[in-house]
Structure 1
Amino acid sequence: MFDPAPIPDYNVGTADISEVLNRTGQDLMQGIIDGDQPAPSMARTMRHWIARVEEGEVEFRGEPSAEVLNPGGLVHGGWAMTLLDSALGCAVQTTLEKGVTFVSLDTSVRFVRPITPETGQVRCIGRVQSRGKRIATAEGVIEDRTGRVLATGTTSCFIRPLGH
């Protein structure tokens, strides 16, 4: 069973640059879960949150709502894509040393089943596939409460020192 959404209690904002420089990527991600680091403001808007963090893997949760429907009455693909992009990027983030960041080079998403508000809470697991000195790749999956795959995705990320 999935946990209730922590949406009302989100600490949102922008991370302090000194915190980013002095923490590993995994520490930063865990800090969001623990509440001592702010979640990005879009997390509240998109109703996504980090549920679990370990090196090379993160689990996000999301609750689609009527506010993110497309004209056909389904949850907009951009919602699922944002959830995957967040999980994939954060999985890469967990592998980064202090003072290092990344930018996405590309993201690919495949929609397998429709998502509706009735789908309820979903989970998205992002896992690093490879981590080189400058390039990392990750893959992810969005599942419903029964484990049915709703969407899959991959990303490539460019790793660089913060501020460059």
Structure 2
Amino acid sequence: MQDATNSEPIFAPSRMPDVPFGIAHPEQVTGLSGLDVIRAIPTGALPAPPMAQTLQQWIEVADKGRAEFRGNPSNAYLNPMGLIHGGWTMALLDSAMGCAVQTILDAGEMYVSLGTEVKFMRPITAKMGQVRAIGTVIDRTRQTASAEARVEDQSGRILATGTSTCFLMPAKQERQE
């Protein structure tokens, strides 16, 4: 872990990609691995989920078994105590963990979350600047995958952590609206 007293940032803030928002149609993702799908979103080849626009959270980079998200906490996400609402942080962790799991899926596989646990270590404020969540797969069986993630500020302080277990299954050919 980075020494939190170091004045050098451990990551440089980035801009949210200018991409379309929506839901990919099944024919757009047929034959693509989970990693291919996740990597196509920040390029605009596939739409980013609408919640990413609402929450100002996006995929920064993804590799097999790992996904890094960025988020811009702002006054739009304050709770009554003047801190960033825990739900915003949980969404950032959930996205990083879920997308890390998606990166290990073969074409024709999908996942749903079975359970997620989050621990808040330090408050996030609107003045803090950009934060990042790094999600990593820690185990995969035939039917489940587990992931962990942490949210950290630019100095490397851990703000929140999470774990998640996902159920793996064949992708459905048709989505119900």
**Short-chain TM bin:** over 0.9
Matched, 1:97 2:102: no
Matched positions, count: 163
Query: Residues of 1 paired with 2:91 and 2:153: CA distance?
Result: 16
Quote the offset at 1:21 in angstroms. Answer: 2.3
Task: For 1:41, give the aligned amino acid.
Answer: P
Of 31, 42, 67, the residue aligned with 2:40 is 31
Identity %: 48
Quote the offset at 1:10 in angstroms. Answer: 2.8
Of 79, 84, 91, the residue aligned with 1:70 is 79
- The alignment's TM-score, normalised by the length of structure 1, stands at 0.96
Any conservation in 2 of the 1:62–1:121 contact (CA below 8 Å)? yes
Task: Give runs of aligned pairs for residues 3-152 of structure 1, distance below 5 A.
Answer: 3-6=13-16, 9-152=18-161
Query: Residues of 2 paired with 1:63 and 1:85: CA distance?
Result: 16
Query: Residues of 2 paired with 1:4 and 1:125: CA distance?
Result: 15
Task: For 2:169, give the aligned amino acid.
Answer: R
- Which is helix-richer, 1 or 2? 1
- The alignment's TM-score, normalised by the length of structure 2, stands at 0.89
Corresponding residue SS for 2:38: helix
1:21-46 per-residue CA deviation (whole Å, 9 max, x = no partner) reads 22000000000122101110000100
Task: For 1:98, give the aligned amino acid.
Answer: A
Corresponding residue SS for 2:42: helix
Quote the offset at 1:16 in angstroms. Answer: 1.4
* RMSD value, Cα: 1.1
Unaligned runs of 5+ in 2: 1-10
Query: Residues of 2 paired with 1:132 and 1:139: CA distance?
Result: 16
Query: Residues of 2 paired with 1:68 and 1:149: CA distance?
Result: 19
Query: Residues of 2 paired with 1:122 and 1:27: CA distance?
Result: 25
Greater Rg by CA = 2
1:30-76 per-residue CA deviation (whole Å, 9 max, x = no partner) reads 00122101110000100001001000001000001101100000000
Any conservation in 2 of the 1:10–1:44 contact (CA below 8 Å)? no
